[in-house]
Structure 1
Amino acid sequence: MADGEVGGIVDEKFTAVREKFAQNLADGTDIGASFCVTRDGETVIDLWGGWADEERTRPWEKDTIVNVYSTTKTMTALTALWLADQGKLDFDAPVAEYWPEFAASGKDAIKVSHLMSHSAGLAGWTDPLDKQDLYDWEKATSLLAAQAPMWEPGTVPGYHALTQGYLVGEVIRRIDGRSVGTVFREEIAGPLGADFHIGLPASEDDRVAHLKPPPVAGLGSAAQTEIQRVAFEHPTIDVSETRTRAWRGAEIPAAGGTGNAHSIATVQSILANGGVMNGKRFLSEAGCRKALECQIEGTDLVLGIPVRFGLGYGLSGPMSPALNESSMFWGGYGGSIVLIDMQNRLTIAYAMNRMEGTTTGDMRAITLAALVWQAMAG
């Protein structure tokens, strides 16, 4: 394979997907990218290509990985679903049952399900936070435990862009004793051989693609309300931070995960396949379907768009009309995304390094996914 070209495998019925993927790399829609589809747990598309850096000095290889921002949330959510399926976590229980300090400032009735569905009223840190504080787990979680909610919990969604990972992650830590990144690695990614990391070892740094920031200003530039300002500016997201050892090594379970389309699809196929992947059962089928239970819907106070949230995932609805009722998804700032279709036992994942200005996924992945669905229907 020549530098910058497309590598990988494609089932012959999906030739149009490979052609579109290659076109995106050739015309600059993508610099480097990966796209993977599994069906019934089998990989039917696994593509990668282009360049791992904007300067085009490093080819995007099979094992190239990249920061995928909020697509990481699906890994944290799956870890919580796994713990619940073990009978150790009750989504309907008050958070304070597991994390007593969290009851402060009138939060004693907030449920774990509110954390999972972005409705806890803690969309950001009301005290300004320095980006270095994201690397201090104790500080980040203690501030949230002490903070009062910004709206009545459980009444309306408001995207917890960074805070969700610390909130759900601390509940996991309080129950299990291990950090969320450790539980994820030891119970899910490790057994699957999936190259996705919530907290990347320094030994893997040379495989990480460099993100190219979006052409427009960061997420905070769209902030209109106080809630949006707090969510996106405490602290402001700095894409260049993803090139640092501090960011990569830290456990930032809502935004700091590093992987590629193959590893994303491999992990999330657990849900698409009713709890089984690579011959191993990770969750019961009922434990998987729990994620589909709608917790809240309405116009999101942070994103400003209509949403439907299950337990850790977006569900079919106004912002995702193509999905059936047994589907869920989430994506990351800049363009990465994963779509999980339980009805068709299908998982579609995309990860790239040229960022668009969108908050959770964009049309590059959706166009490729549409070609997958067309081929399956044909």
Structure 2
Amino acid sequence: MTSTAQFHGRCDPKFEAVRGLLQKFVDSGDELGASLAVNVDGDDVVDLWGGYVDADRTLPWNEDTIATVFSNTKNVTSLAILILVERKLLSVNDKVAKYWPEFAANGKEDVEIRHLLSHTSGVGAWDDPMALEALCDTQECTAKLAKQAPWWTPGTASGYHSLTFGYLLGEIVRRITGLSLKEFIRTNIASPLGADFQLGAVEEDWPRISNMIPPPPRGELPPAMEPDSIPMKFMNPLPTVEFANTPAWRQAEIGAANGFGNARSLARILSEVTLAGKEGRKGLLSKQTVDLIFNEQSRGPDVALGIPLRFGVGFALTGDGDTSLDDFLPSGKLCLWGGWGGSMAIMDVERGVTITYVMNKMSNEGPGTSLVKAYIKAIYEALGVSIN
């Protein structure tokens, strides 16, 4: 398969291998449309975009193309909470019920905000069966979570809160600031930083949104994902790509999953984590607040995903060869998370490097698709950093 769609934008000469990979994968059909950004010490050394927004490969992915980034959204939601920490409006060790008294019901009185941020609260999904359309009713989703009991003793294990993460933390934001999570992100993160990112997307921006292309069918579920298994209990409701391409999804406030942006906007936002405390720079966070991220909250098999993970406060952390992230990332002080299908954000605090990637052709691989791993390897090779 050949392509006439070239990758455009800025690329420091020493990162030309990254541009070459993007072009290679679009030409081969492994990639459809994508954007990739690398910021080093505040300098956008890579800001590339290209490919196509449609499966027929007729419409180009442009500089202002945006797409839903699925769970990459969680990175921005976590940043929102850290901003409240920075402003001394809360502590991650506070009880959730301090701000949201109704949440104390059914044995959740000791759940702390750090438990929500690290997927260890025990409120990983809903007890009641949920239709996808129900996700659009933020108030009802949140009220249901406040009433139910935790599925395990909070703080003792992680169980990936694939959808509840945003409703739980969004309610904390609302109780403290009076703003919805959508409005808080707009007024306190995206607008001040000049970042083209939204939770949901206003209708006037819909023409520049790339629909997501579903991954191949999974076939039979593996034994750990049988319909009545614990991991499947977390898939309530079971998301579909088709729903993510609807107006209902675009209009909703799903703080765990329906952020819209591109690599440039995510790099601009998440560099606030990477570069916090850099000399002469006044950002949204201090180094002291970012250091909280690296306080380990859980380590071991995640009861929802069934893979070994290490979570800090708001983000996943690399381990010592004992997590599913260690085979494609360097050692050191870095935090990250990605989205369903392949998007990724890495905040390498130790090296001052932020890497973000947003695409539209989805994969069933993860965490870290083969394409992501190739990009990351090329980026770190250009930086002279080896990956174990």
Q: TM-score range by the shorter chain?
A: over 0.9
TM-score by length of 1: 0.95
Measure, in 2, the Cα distance between the counterparts of 1:301 and 1:171.
25
Query: How far is the alpha carbon of 1:114 from its aligned partner?
Result: 0.6
Measure, in 2, the Cα distance between the counterparts of 1:270 and 1:293.
18
Query: How far is the alpha carbon of 1:218 from its aligned partner?
Result: 9.2
Q: Secondary structure at the match of 2:383?
A: helix
Measure, in 1, the Cα distance between the counterparts of 2:299 and 2:40.
29
Q: Secondary structure at the match of 1:58?
A: coil
Query: How far is the alpha carbon of 1:95 from its aligned partner?
Result: 0.7
Question: After alignment, is 277-286 or 16-25 more displaced?
Answer: 277-286
Is 2:211–2:360's contact at 8 Å kept on the other side of the alignment?
yes
- Gaps of at least 5 residues in structure 1 are none
Q: For residues 89-137 of structure 1, what are the alpha-carbon distances to aligned partners after superposition, in whole Å with 9 as ceiling and x for unaligned?
A: 1111111111100001111011111100001111111110111110001
State the partner residue of 2:174. 173
State the partner residue of 1:344. 351
Query: How far is the alpha carbon of 1:337 from its aligned partner?
Result: 0.4
Task: Read off the aligned partner of 2:234 and give its amino acid letter.
Answer: A
Q: Secondary structure at the match of 1:377?
A: coil
Asked if 1:249 corresponds to 2:254, the answer is no
Measure, in 2, the Cα distance between the counterparts of 1:71 and 1:326.
19
- The number of residue pairs the alignment matches comes to 376
Asked if 1:285 corresponds to 2:287, the answer is yes
Asked if 1:229 corresponds to 2:235, the answer is no
Measure, in 1, the Cα distance between the counterparts of 2:51 and 2:157.
41
State the partner residue of 2:83. 82
Measure, in 2, the Cα distance between the counterparts of 1:32 and 1:366.
17
Query: How far is the alpha carbon of 1:276 from its aligned partner?
Result: 6.7
State the partner residue of 1:310. 312
Asked if 1:320 corresponds to 2:322, the answer is no
Cα gap change, 1:88 to 1:218, in 2 (>3 Å)? farther
Is 1:336–1:360's contact at 8 Å kept on the other side of the alignment?
no
State the partner residue of 2:194. 193
Cα gap change, 1:275 to 1:351, in 2 (>3 Å)? farther
Task: Read off the aligned partner of 2:353 and give its amino acid letter.
Answer: L
Measure, in 2, the Cα distance between the counterparts of 1:299 and 1:122.
17
Cα gap change, 1:218 to 1:159, in 2 (>3 Å)? farther
Query: How far is the alpha carbon of 1:275 from its aligned partner?
Result: 5.4
Measure, in 2, the Cα distance between the counterparts of 1:290 and 1:218.
41
State the partner residue of 1:71. 72
Measure, in 2, the Cα distance between the counterparts of 1:181 and 1:320.
30
Is 2:297–2:311's contact at 8 Å kept on the other side of the alignment?
yes
Q: For residues 32-76 of structure 1, what are the alpha-carbon distances to aligned partners after superposition, in whole Å with 9 as ceiling and x for unaligned?
A: 011100011110001111101112232100110001100000000
Measure, in 2, the Cα distance between the counterparts of 1:218 and 1:237.
16
Q: Secondary structure at the match of 2:346?
A: strand
Is 2:324–2:367's contact at 8 Å kept on the other side of the alignment?
no
State the partner residue of 2:97. 96
Task: Read off the aligned partner of 2:258 and give its amino acid letter.
Answer: G
Measure, in 2, the Cα distance between the counterparts of 1:25 and 1:287.
39
Cα gap change, 1:218 to 1:139, in 2 (>3 Å)? farther
Is 2:325–2:367's contact at 8 Å kept on the other side of the alignment?
no
Q: Matches of residues 1-80 of structure 1 in structure 2 within 5 Å?
A: 4-80=5-81
Task: Read off the aligned partner of 2:243 and give its amino acid letter.
Answer: E
TM-score by length of 2: 0.93
- Gaps of at least 5 residues in structure 2 are none
Q: For residues 315-373 of structure 1, what are the alpha-carbon distances to aligned partners after superposition, in whole Å with 9 as ceiling and x for unaligned?
A: 01222222333101100010000011011110001110110013544221221111111
Q: Secondary structure at the match of 2:134?
A: helix
Query: How far is the alpha carbon of 1:296 from its aligned partner?
Result: 1.1
State the partner residue of 1:258. 260
Measure, in 1, the Cα distance between the counterparts of 2:220 and 2:248.
21
Is 2:114–2:313's contact at 8 Å kept on the other side of the alignment?
yes
Measure, in 2, the Cα distance between the counterparts of 1:59 and 1:139.
39
Is 2:32–2:360's contact at 8 Å kept on the other side of the alignment?
yes
Q: Secondary structure at the match of 2:199?
A: coil
Cα gap change, 1:115 to 1:204, in 2 (>3 Å)? same
Query: How far is the alpha carbon of 1:280 from its aligned partner?
Result: 4.3
Measure, in 1, the Cα distance between the counterparts of 2:251 and 2:280.
28
Question: After alignment, is 40-49 or 322-331 more displaced?
Answer: 322-331
Task: Read off the aligned partner of 1:255 and give its amino acid letter.
Answer: A
Q: For residues 240-293 of structure 1, what are the alpha-carbon distances to aligned partners after superposition, in whole Å with 9 as ceiling and x for unaligned?
A: 112212101211010111111111111000111015799642111111221121
Measure, in 2, the Cα distance between the counterparts of 1:15 and 1:176.
44
Is 2:325–2:368's contact at 8 Å kept on the other side of the alignment?
no
Is 1:275–1:282's contact at 8 Å kept on the other side of the alignment?
no
Measure, in 1, the Cα distance between the counterparts of 2:220 and 2:199.
22
State the partner residue of 1:371. 378
RMSD of aligned C-alpha atoms?
1.9
Query: How far is the alpha carbon of 1:184 from its aligned partner?
Result: 1.2
Task: Read off the aligned partner of 1:7 and give its amino acid letter.
Answer: H
